[in-house]
Amino acid sequence: MLSNKINSNDLLVIGDKKFTSRLFTGTGKFNDQKTMVAALQASQSQLVTMALKRVDMDHKEDDILAPLIKNGLNLLPNTSGARNAKEAIFAAQLAREALQTNWIKLEIHPDPKYLLPDPIETLKAAEFLAKDGFVVLPYVHADPVLCKHLQAAGCAAVMPLGAPIGSNKGIRTREFLEIIIEQATIPVIVDAGIGRPSDAAFAMELGADAVLVNTAIAVAGDPIAMSRAFAKAVEAGRQAYLAGLAGQYQHAVASSPLTAFLEAGLLKESV
Amino acid sequence: MNVIVNGNIFEIAPNSRIEGLLKSLDKPLNGSALAVNGEIISRTKWAEYRLCEGDNISLFQAIAGG
């Protein structure tokens, strides 16, 4: 039964880990740590992203690591800030030491205005990091050819964008995401641009294996309630995908047997 | 002796280890990573790794991010 598949066996496997939730979340941009932790709990997310920063010697940073570990969350450090493969590899190796995980969200965006990922440097870094034992999840443009190269390079998943980071513009790359999803033999996680729960549901309906959401939750009026909304949307989208969406038609297709009712001649008799 | 941490000069006792340096700077061990003169030092070596005069240390810490 399909319902059994959805409810009990529909696990997402990436590298050495299994996930029951297909909503991955970021930890950035929350107003305070308490809200962040509550929102992550409400999202039921099992994988959360983190960044690495050069320590400012004059300030003490909040310890956000302890509550994440306490809540049993898997950590996915990113290489945000890296502008080329060399910097990204260094950042990944630092992150492995800092967080004691070989998982890495590889992101290389040299342009601060659009934060679009550099495909050439990303592929170069992915090849190196996969050989160095990392579980590599690269953030990329929705480029089916690049995704095939990254898959061949040994990446554990690909993370194509829906729209620029933090733009909340939704899934603007539909045609290309569909090709990536069709071709990929590794999980496809739609990352960036998801601005509302319906965007997440839409990505899941297309057949994405998971989505990563940060800004849309963190800066929502009520991040905790928004987390719940996203969790439901992701689940709904996934179930819709598994159920098999009905096709679309240019013309109307009657849902009720109206013609048979009129043909019976009842209307004429009653006048 | 003096070492440089993220561009700032700190005076520390001779033969200081990395672990001792982080404690004296009131920086957390968990969630941190560092490189000495550009080479990443595994945290398993922090207790014994001996710093030298003029070492240039880059210290990083996990923070919130997307």
Among candidate residues A53, A70, A86, A105, the one labeled active-site is A105
**CATH at B19:** 3.10.20.30
pLDDT band at A8; cut points 50, 70, 90: low
Residue B15 inside a domain? The answer is yes
Strand partners, A106: A138
For helices A174-183 and A144-152, angle between their N-to-C axes, nearest 10 degrees: 30
- Look at residue A264 in the predicted model and tell me its pLDDT: 62
Sign, CA dihedral A47-B58-A34-A169, equals negative
Count helices and strands in chain B by DSSP H and E runs: 1, 5
Q: Residues of chain B whose C-beta is under 8 A from some C-beta in A?
A: 5-6, 8, 25-28, 30-35, 40, 42-43, 58-66
- Token pair, residue A34, equals 């308490």
- What is the pTM for the complete model shown? 0.90
Asked if residue B17 belongs to a domain, the reply is yes
Bridge partner residues of B64 (DSSP): A50
Task: Kindly indicate the confidence band of residue B26, based on its pLDDT and cuts at 50, 70 and 90.
Answer: confident
In this prediction, residue A1 has a pLDDT band, given cuts at 50, 70 and 90, of: very low
Total domains present in chain B: 1
| Structure ipTM | 0.92
Please state whether beta strands A23-26 and A210-213 pair in parallel, antiparallel, or not at all (unpaired): parallel
pLDDT tens-digit readout, A119-176: 999 999 999 999 999 999 999 999 999 999 999 999 999 999 999 998 999 999 999 9
> Is the Cβ–Cβ distance between B26 and A39 less than 8 Å?
no
Q: Give the gyration radius of chain A's Cα atoms.
A: 22
DSSP letter at B47?
T
Contact B59 A54 (CB under 8 A): yes
d(CA A85, CA A90) in angstroms, rounded, equals: 9
CB neighbourhood size of A127 (10 A): 18
pLDDT tier for residue A262 given thresholds of 50, 70 and 90: low
Give the pLDDT confidence of A60-90 residue by residue, as tens digits: 777 888 899 989 999 999 999 999 999 999 9
Catalytic site includes residue A5? no
Interface probe for B, chosen from A97, A165, A194 (most Cβ of B below 10 Å), is A97
Query: What's the mean pLDDT in A191-215?
Result: 97
Of A50, A95, A100, nearest to B64 by CB-CB distance is A50
| Both structure tokens of A224 | 């905790």
Average pLDDT over residues A49-55: 94
Region of residue A84 (left: phi > 0; alpha: psi -120 to 50; beta: else): beta
* Tokens read off for A6: 């959805």
CA distance A232 to A163: 22
A266 CB neighbour count, 10 Å cutoff: 9
Going by C-alpha positions, the residue among A47, A31, A61 that lies closest to residue B60 is: A61
Closest residue of chain B to A24, computed from CA coordinates: B66
Residue numbers of A between 114 and 173 with CB closer than 8 Å to B: 165-166
> Residue B66 domain-assigned?
no
CATH class of domain segment(s) A2-270: alpha beta
3-state secondary structure of A49: strand
Longest distance between any two alpha carbons in chain A, whole Å: 91
Q: Which residue range is the domain that position B11 belongs to?
A: 2-61
Is residue A162 within 8 Å of residue A173, measured between CB atoms? yes
DSSP one-letter code for A31? S
Q: Domain residues of chain A, as ranges?
A: 2-270
Helix axes A144-152, A119-131, angle to 10 degrees: 20
Domain assignment present for B57: yes
Instruction: Specify whether the CB–CB gap between A193 and A163 falls below 8 A.
Output: yes
DSSP-assigned letter for residue A60: P
- What secondary structure letter does DSSP report for B44? G
A57 touching B (Cβ < 8 Å): yes
Band (A58; pLDDT cuts 50, 70, 90): confident
pLDDT at res. A270: 52
- Evaluate whether A65 touches B61 at the Cβ level (below 8 Å): no
